[in-house]
Structure formats: structure tokens, C-alpha cells
Amino acid sequence: MNISIDVKELDQQTTMTLAGEIDAYTAPQLRETAFPYTEKKQASVVIDLSGVTYMDSTGLGVFVGLFKSLNANDGTLKLVGLSDRLKRLFDITGLADIMNINSEAEGGV
């Protein structure tokens, strides 16, 4: 149960590329790495999930927290590269209706 997190910062945008599993064991590492970037005023965070093979409710909770933190600081969160399985997870929980989700990874991400 591993996760790798690659972070790139350019101006006000932070891009994180995740690979592996996001579950109860790896979610704290993701939270610890990602939250400092959400606390900056008007930050833009793009998270590429194309390398994520599994995510449970703990992982969803991390994304809800990131989303709330960015909203509180007038920032934005965009999730890209979701597999059909991850997209469905966000759809059935209703999170796809409030979060900016794109199943296609963006160029340069």
C-alpha cells in the first residue's frame, strides 16, 4: 500500500501527480503533503489521478478537506485523469457535482 506524490509549482498553480493507492494508510501522507498548498490565498491546485489504482472513503475525505480549504482561501481545485472507477466514486457520492473533475489528464500535467 504505497502512494507517490510528485509536486510541481509554477506561479500560483500547484500540480500534484499521484500514483498508487489512496486509503486509510496512505491518506495521511497525502493530506500532510497537499494541505499546505491549499492554505495560500487564491491558490490553484490541479491533482492528476491517472496513476491512482484504488481509493476508499478515507481518500474521498482528503479531497473534501482540500476542496474546503481551497474554497475558504478563494482557491480552486481541479481533479484530472480519473479512471472510470474513480469518476464513478465521485459521481455516486455527489462530489462530482461540486468539484471540478475532468477524466482526461491535461497536457503538461
Rounded CA-CA distance 51/43 in Å is 23
Class for domain 3-102, per CATH? alpha beta
Q: Which residue, chain included where needed, has cell 499546505? A: 36
> Is 87 buried (19+), middle (13-18) or exposed (0-12) by CB count in 10 A?
middle
- At position 17, the amino acid (one-letter code) is T
- State if pTM tops 0.85: yes
Q: Where are the alpha helices (DSSP H) in 1-109?
A: 27-38, 57-72, 84-92
Q: Residues 90, 96: contact at Cβ < 8 Å?
A: yes
Q: Which residue, chain included where needed, has cell 500514483? A: 19
pLDDT tens, position by position, for the chain (109 residues)?
A: 699 999 999 887 999 999 999 999 999 999 999 999 999 999 999 999 999 999 999 999 999 999 999 999 999 999 999 999 999 999 999 999 999 998 666 544 4
